[in-house]
Amino acid sequence: MTKAIPTLSIGDHAVRAAHYVNGAWVDEGATFQVFSPIDQGMLGSMPEASDLLVDAAVDGALAAFPAWAALGAEGRLPYLQRFADAIVDRAEAFAQVESHDAGVLLSRLQHGIIPRAALNIRWFAEAALKLQDKELATHQAHHYVRHDPAGVCAIITPWNSPLMLSTWKAGPALAAGNSVVIKPPEWAPLGCSILAQAAEAAGIPPGVFNVVHGHGPTTGARLVANPRLSRISFTGSVPTAKIIAKVAAENLIPCSLELGGKSPFIVLEDADLDLAAATGALQYRNATQVCLAGTRFLVHEQVRDAFVEKMRAIVEQLVIGDPRDTATEIGPIIHPRQFEKVQGYVERAKAAGARLLWGGEPHPFGPLYYKPTMFTDVAPDAEIVQEEVFGPVLVMQTFTDDAEAVRLANDTVYGLGGVCFGEVGHARAVAEQVRTGFIWINSFGIRDLAAPFGGRGQSGIGREGGDYSFEFFSDIKDVIVPTAPFKASFAHR
């Protein structure tokens, strides 16, 4: 008798509590419990993939790769279009489950994240059609530069937006002709199980799309150590990335690492303070569990007081509560361990003499909710200035001129994003001097799938988006055809 696959009931939706390997649902391994950050209620148990199952997922992906690669971009297109459609068909399930599982605002999931997840699959599938051989003509030959599929790609995603980031990586990997093995975050794994259900419904061939659940030091470690991988794409913390990079180096496997940061939010003296303050308050979205948030506010001393009062007035009106409530603007911190980490940063900053402008304590709504917090009067080398908190805790410094603003902006080991408010020409001149992967002028959060995304320094290695993703998920090959008769000679160069 076939063993029934267990399911978890989340709201009105059933989630398969199993791995998806080589086109089959597999319920094996010791289980770990999954809790909702909304109220710390247990959502159920998920299995931890054994070493043998992780290896089997890579084996299946490797076996499926040649046929999937041979389809070409046009042959893969209908599969990926159906995959995107299947995500849309499950939009309400994704929204309910990921809101319970990761504490993300239900409204943001419905109107932003889930449509984007489907677009991640569809856009890259269509973009792959344009990856024609690039011709380079030299005096000796015609060169045809190809994007060949690389092989099996390991994808490891974080807990702050599992669905969006899984599709952001899997979309270009699959469109380029690779097979994938996804390791979801153990604190928020359920959305990736629904994603596997969508892949199955779309008819993605067995072995092309795989999901193995488990913890980083066990399942994740076994996955990235597999020498048969061709690529590893990881989003998460710097310490974990260093472990992955070291293991990958032993097998010479290319890595793409997106690691968050401590991005500057610069307010120049000629900024629109109302817009800057409103955008500043947006940095608390998802309880600032967002890698690209501007968390170091650098404000010109001439406008500091006015800016603080404008932003304070907005922050005081923010609604903190259940992310399933459409009125809520800030939800919970993901997990008690993360909550303790955030609280620790706040208490150490207080003890070091930093001055609170607002917040600085838990919010009474529930055990994992924290008040939006802003510190000021801090030394440039203070922990709260230099380290990523990944919670609703911001810090403000002042500057007297552009040179000081740039110096402070660049005074960190990170370099992911940035924000700069001011007269457009002035803001652009400052922004171009900031060492970062991207920076918004008088705006925040504008993204396009064709544009590069990634950081400098400790914020990571590589770029994602558009052709930049295809460069990573492909093996670039030069096919050389001589333009004159070739003579085989030891004297020939």
Q: Are residues 179 and 324 in the same domain?
A: no
Do residues 275 and 421 touch, judged by C-beta distance below 8 A? yes
Q: Are residues 427 and 304 in the same domain?
A: yes
Q: How many domains, in total, are found in the chain?
A: 2
**Residue 74 in tokens:** 């046009």
Q: Where does residue 260 fall: left (phi above 0), alpha (psi -120 to 50 degrees), or beta otherwise? A: left
Element (H, E) at 223: helix 221-224
Domain assignment present for residue 446? The answer is no
pLDDT of residue 492: 55
Q: Are residues 305 and 184 in the same domain?
A: no
Mean pLDDT of the chain: 96
Query: pLDDT tens across 327-340, in order?
Result: 999 999 999 999 99
Model confidence at 3: pLDDT above 80 = no
Q: Are residues 316 and 253 in the same domain?
A: no
| Residue corresponding to tokens 């093996």 | 475
Domain assignment present for residue 483? The answer is no
Residues classed as catalytic: 258, 291
Query: pLDDT tens across 317-330, in order?
Result: 999 999 999 999 99
Provide mean pLDDT across the span 64-80. 98
List, in sequence order, the alpha helices (H) in 283-376: 304-315, 336-351
Q: Where does residue 40 fall: left (phi above 0), alpha (psi -120 to 50 degrees), or beta otherwise? A: left
HSE-up of residue 217 (Cα within 13 Å, Cβ side): 1
By mean pLDDT, which of 1-5, 67-71, 126-130, 236-240 is the weakest? 1-5
Query: pLDDT tens across 395-441, in order?
Result: 999 999 999 999 999 999 999 999 999 999 999 999 999 999 999 99
Domain assignment present for residue 357? The answer is yes
- What is 170-221 written as a DSSP string? HHHHHHTT-EEEEE--TTS-HHHHHHHHHHHHTTPPTTTEEE----IIIIIH
Q: Is the pTM of this model over 0.85?
A: yes
Query: pLDDT tens across 349-386, in order?
Result: 999 999 999 999 999 999 999 999 999 999 999 999 99
Please report, as a single letter, which amino acid is at residue 2.
Answer: T
Do residues 282 and 444 touch, judged by C-beta distance below 8 A? yes
At 305 the three-state DSSP class reads: helix
How far apart are alpha carbons 409 and 349 in whole angstroms?
Answer: 20
**Residue 308 in tokens:** 């603080």
Do residues 283 and 445 touch, judged by C-beta distance below 8 A? no
Query: pLDDT tens across 28-56, in order?
Result: 889 999 999 999 999 999 999 999 999 99
Provide mean pLDDT across the span 450-456. 96
Domain assignment present for residue 356? The answer is yes
Do residues 124 and 76 touch, judged by C-beta distance below 8 A? no
Domain assignment present for residue 491? The answer is no
- What is 385-432 written as a DSSP string? HHS---SSEEEEEEESSHHHHHHHHT-SS--S--EEESSHHHHHHHHT
Q: Are residues 325 and 359 in the same domain?
A: yes
Comparing CA positions, the residue from 10, 33, 157, 36 lying closest to residue 103 is: 36
pLDDT of residue 2: 54
Do residues 3 and 12 touch, judged by C-beta distance below 8 A? no
By mean pLDDT, which of 5-9, 312-316, 319-323, 484-488 is the weakest? 484-488
Q: What are phi and psi of 210, to 5 degrees?
A: -130, 150
Domain assignment present for residue 102? The answer is yes
pLDDT of residue 290: 94
- What is 433-487 written as a DSSP string? TS-SS--EES------TTS-B--SGGGEES-BSHHHHHHHSEEEEEEEEESS---
The CATH number of the domain holding residue 351 is 3.40.309.10
Host domain of residue 44: 7-259+455-478
What are the Cα distances from residue 212, in Å, to 6, 57, 190?
15, 8, 11
The CATH number of the domain holding residue 245 is 3.40.605.10
Do residues 212 and 219 touch, judged by C-beta distance below 8 A? yes
Q: Are residues 254 and 272 in the same domain?
A: no
